[in-house]
């Protein structure tokens, strides 16, 4: 196990797929990171040298991405803001109903159960 940016990653997986396990990094960003650092998509985390690992962490930090806890806090604050300003989406969120216009007459039983 390797810890990168407070996330536990498997050593036998490729760097490309392992980076996507970090909350806030998707496949396109992972691809960009691998290309910029000159890492092959087949390269596994166990093949990385300590220098490359440090370089990888610093590169991700310099991208100024919201990742892990910062992104989760941001999402929570956005939801709280919608509720506070009493927008339609905020009210739907409070009631535990679908937010994005899905049908509620016959469906949405699972969304209501998730409260």
Looking up residue 8, the CATH number of its domain turns out to be 1.10.8.50
Task: Output the pTM of the full model.
Answer: 0.77
Residue span of the structural domain in which 14 resides: 2-62
| Residues 10, 30 within the same domain | yes
| Residues 7, 58 within the same domain | yes
Number of domains in the chain: 2
How many Cβ atoms sit within 10 Å of the Cβ of residue 91? 13
| Residues 56, 93 within the same domain | no
- Give the CA distances from residue 62 to residues 11, 80, 94, 113, in Å, rounded to whole numbers and listed in that order: 23, 29, 37, 41
Give the pLDDT mean for 7-23: 92
11 and 53 in contact (C-beta within 8 Å)? no
| Residues 54, 84 within the same domain | no
| Residues 6, 57 within the same domain | yes
Give tens-digit pLDDT for 74-89. Answer: 999 999 999 999 999 9
| Residues 58, 74 within the same domain | no
Asked whether the predicted pLDDT for residue 59 surpasses 90, the reply is yes
């Amino acid at each position: 196990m390797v810890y990168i940016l407070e996330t536990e990653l498997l050593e036998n997986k490729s760097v490309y797929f392992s980076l996507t396990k970090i909350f806030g990094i998707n496949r396109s960003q992972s691809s960009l990171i691998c290309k910029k650092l000159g890492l092959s998509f087949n390269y596994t985390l166990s093949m990385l040298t300590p220098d490359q690992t440090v370089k990888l962490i610093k590169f991700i930090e310099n991208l100024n991405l919201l990742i892990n806890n910062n992104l989760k806090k941001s999402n929570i604050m956005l939801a709280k803001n919608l509720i506070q300003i009493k927008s339609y989406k905020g009210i739907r969120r409070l009631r535990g109903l679908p937010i994005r216009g899905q049908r509620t007459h016959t469906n949405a039983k699972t969304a209501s159960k998730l409260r």
